[in-house]
């Protein structure tokens, strides 16, 4: 019930503040109409007081509590003092209007905060609160997910959301993993496959064993990251909050002087002097300036989360707009991370399928990534079942396999006979190697009869992402441990502007430092443990969602859907946020200066000051909420 209660509390606060503000407004309107007919009589004054209390209680409590806890003054106190001062000199209506608009802007700001948290609430709603536990006697029992422990066996029925992360023990089904990966096509899962909490079982029933506690599921980590990001304040926000305390002290000092100096310097009467001090108290308050950053930042973080981009704080969403260069790891980041067969060449084309079956039968006994690629390629060609082979593994060189009494060698050129390789198909092996492909050979009786070329292919998304970043003027670099030839081929295919090859984890850091000296603001994108040092060194570390735990913990930004095109979206999102924040700051400072000068010239009265000041605050909040839009 915890997450439902949290959502309910947010709604109560959201609606409660808005209802209080509107109710205070209604009472204010009635009191104002009555004051026009019967004057500021006791019943009218009581109604004004009611509007003060109903509309101002929440903000007064907030201001006093924060002042006591933080031992610093805040804008809420300025508003309370201005409203009280207005009442003391008989401006009941103006004071009540001030309280009403201030309460309304506060309710709107609360709405903005809660609106930015809706992605967390949506994720929480995806997590089932109960699970079907399989007991030792074969019976089942509904239990709260909070009571489950690692190792628990659970029955998952068709149509149900998975309550925990686990591994399938029995059964097969299609699972909709869109909530986690963003992929709309269901994935077939069977015994031994990992499954994740909050995904949906589409058809068959199956049994899983819980492998992670509730607090460590993938969805729980996403929620934790978003919550952490929303609670971490950006440098701009921290500066404004520090500035607020000093600014309030300055305003109160100036108001204190304003209470008597104009009477002697400009020969104002005491009523005008006190009135203008109260107007200054209102119009000089930095409400709009304080609201210039937070709603926009939280809305941007929420927008990113909705699009599969998790920022670990306002600092990182600010930094990403400044990037001048981005370095990419190759394997698993720019590429699929799994080699695929690109060429299968045989000495005798008539024996093509037979030889493919032979080499696949031998490689099926190995769990090496290259062997798995060959096996999958043969199955895709319709060769199944594969012939049974007896093999001998020669570590570091290849395999020796026997099928139907015939012995084959499969592996490196030196293993199958270097002198034969050089003359096979007119040195085609050298051509394939120059294309960045890994080539292995198959020999029978010291004669090369086939070769297989494999390559870790570049993701199509990577090509589009690199093209977009280059168009935005961001320099792209690839850091890889591969040899220079392979690095150049992959870089050219992906569209990367610069390739740095033969990188160890420590040399990646050295190269990153060199890039930082040259470009100042540099991002790093990776997914492996070996990328973690470079991710930590970069201005902004960006991890792929399927990356290792170390990479995910080290990075500042996480691409949950492994979609590199989201980097360009994140940069645009950050740039848009920065523009909105600048607009808000310039607008709020301009309004404050205009109102302060107008007050000294006695052009603006208290009602207009209230409307100008609080109206600018509302406009600033609404402008920040534009970051919630899907497109911009």
Among residues 123, 116, 303, the alpha carbon closest in space to that of 219 is found at 123
Distance CA 531, CA 548 (A): 10
Beta strands across the sheet bearing 498-500: 309-311, 557-559, 540-544, 522-526, 325-329, 475-479, 498-500
Q: Is 193 known to be catalytic?
A: no
What's the count of helices (H) and strands (E) in the chain, helices before strands? 25, 22
Q: What are phi and psi of 474, to 5 degrees?
A: -95, 120
Distance CA 532, CA 214 (A): 26
Strand spans (E) along 359-505? 390-394, 398-403, 406-411, 438-444, 447-458, 475-479, 498-500
Among residues 250, 233, 239, 236, the alpha carbon closest in space to that of 285 is found at 250
C-alpha of 438 from chain center: 36
Q: Which residues fall within 8 angstroms of residue 454, CB to CB, at 6 or more apart?
A: 339, 340, 341, 342, 370, 373, 374, 437, 438, 439, 440
Q: Any bridge partners for residue 407, and if so which?
A: 402
Beta strands across the sheet bearing 187-189: 187-189, 173-176, 200-201
Distance CA 175, CA 195 (A): 8
Helix segments in 39-91, DSSP class H? 42-70, 75-88
Among residues 391, 394, 393, 397, the alpha carbon closest in space to that of 412 is found at 397
DSSP string, 561-620: T--THHHHHHHHHHHHHHHHHHHHHHHHHHHHHHHHHHHHTT-S-HHHHHHHHHHHHHHH
Structure tokens, 62: 């907030």
Distance CA 132, CA 43 (A): 63
The alpha carbons of the chain give a radius of gyration, in whole angstroms, of: 34
Among residues 421, 413, 379, 382, the alpha carbon closest in space to that of 397 is found at 413
Q: Which of 14, 165, 329, 563 is catalytic?
A: 329
Question: Are residues 567 and 559 in contact, defined by beta-carbon separation less than 8 angstroms?
Answer: yes
Among residues 402, 428, 412, 410, the alpha carbon closest in space to that of 345 is found at 428
- For the annotated catalytic residues, the residue numbers are 329
């Amino acid at each position: 019930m915890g997450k439902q209660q949290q959502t309910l509390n947010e709604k109560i606060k959201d609606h409660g503040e808005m209802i209080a503000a509107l109710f205070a407004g209604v009472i204010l309107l009635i009191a104002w109409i009555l004051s026009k007919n019967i004057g500021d009589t006791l019943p009218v004054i009581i109604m004004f007081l009611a509007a003060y209390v109903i509309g101002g209680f929440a903000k007064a409590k907030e201001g006093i509590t924060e002042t006591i806890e933080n031992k610093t003054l805040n804008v809420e106190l300025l508003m309370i003092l201005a409203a009280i001062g207005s009442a003391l000199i008989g401006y009941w209506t103006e004071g009540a209007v001030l309280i009403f608009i201030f309460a309304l802007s506060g309710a709107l700001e609360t709405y903005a905060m809660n609106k930015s948290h809706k992605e967390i609430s949506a994720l929480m709603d995806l997590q089932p609160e109960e699970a079907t536990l399989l007991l030792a006697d074969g019976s089942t029992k509904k239990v709260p997910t909070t009571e489950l422990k690692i190792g628990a066996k659970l029955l998952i029925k068709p149509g149900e959301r998975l309550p925990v992360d686990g591994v399938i023990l029995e059964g097969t089904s299609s699972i909709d993993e869109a909530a986690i990966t963003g992929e709309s096509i269901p994935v077939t899962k069977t015994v031994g496959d990992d499954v994740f909490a909050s995904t949906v079982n589409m058809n068959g029933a199956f049994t899983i064993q819980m492998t992670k506690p509730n607090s460590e599921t993938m969805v729980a980590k996403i929620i934790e990251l978003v919550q952490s990001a929303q609670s971490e304040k950006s440098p701009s926000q921290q500066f404004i909050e520090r500035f607020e305390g000093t600014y309030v002290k300055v305003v109160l000092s100036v108001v204190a002087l304003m209470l008597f100096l104009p009477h002697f310097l400009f020969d104002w009467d005491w009523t005008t002097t006190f009135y203008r001090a109260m107007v200054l108290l209102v119009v000089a308050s930095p409400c709009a300036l304080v609201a210039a950053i937070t709603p926009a930042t939280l809305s941007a973080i929420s927008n990113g989360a909705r699009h599969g981009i998790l920022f670990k704080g306002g600092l990182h969403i600010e930094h990403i707009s400044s990037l001048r260069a981005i370095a990419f790891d190759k394997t698993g980041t720019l590429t699929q991370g799994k080699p695929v067969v690109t060429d299968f060449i045989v000495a005798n084309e008539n024996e093509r399928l037979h030889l493919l079956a032979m080499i696949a039968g031998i490689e099926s006994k190995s769990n090496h990534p290259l062997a798995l690629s060959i096996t999958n390629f043969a199955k895709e060609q319709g060769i199944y079942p594969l012939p049974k082979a007896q093999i001998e593994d020669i570590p570091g060189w290849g395999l020796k396999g026997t099928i139907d009494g015939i012995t084959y060698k499969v592996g490196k050129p030196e293993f199958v006979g270097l002198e034969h390789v050089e003359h096979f198909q007119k040195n085609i092996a050298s051509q394939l190697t120059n294309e960045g492909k890994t080539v292995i050979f198959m020999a029978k009786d010291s004669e090369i009869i086939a070769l297989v070329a494999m390559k870790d292919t570049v993701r199509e998304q990577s090509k589009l992402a690199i093209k977009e970043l280059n168009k935005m003027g961001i320099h792209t670099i690839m850091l890889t441990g591969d040899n220079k030839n392979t690095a150049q081929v992959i870089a050219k295919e992906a569209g990367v502007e610069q390739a740095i090859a033969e990188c160890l984890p420590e040399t990646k850091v050295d190269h990153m430092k060199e890039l930082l000296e040259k470009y100042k603001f540099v991002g790093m994108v990776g997914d492996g443990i070996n990328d973690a040092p470079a991710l930590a060194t970069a201005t902004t570390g960006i991890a792929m969602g399927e990356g290792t735990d170390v990479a995910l913990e080290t990075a500042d930004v996480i691409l949950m859907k492994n979609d590199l095109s989201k980097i360009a979206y994140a940069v645009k999102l950050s740039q848009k946020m920065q523009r909105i924040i600048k607009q808000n700051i310039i607008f709020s400072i301009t309004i404050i200066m205009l109102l302060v000068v107008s007050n000294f010239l006695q052009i603006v009265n208290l009602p207009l000051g209230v409307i100008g000041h609080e109206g600018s605050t509302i406009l600033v909040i609404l402008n920040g909420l534009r970051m919630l839009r899907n497109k911009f």
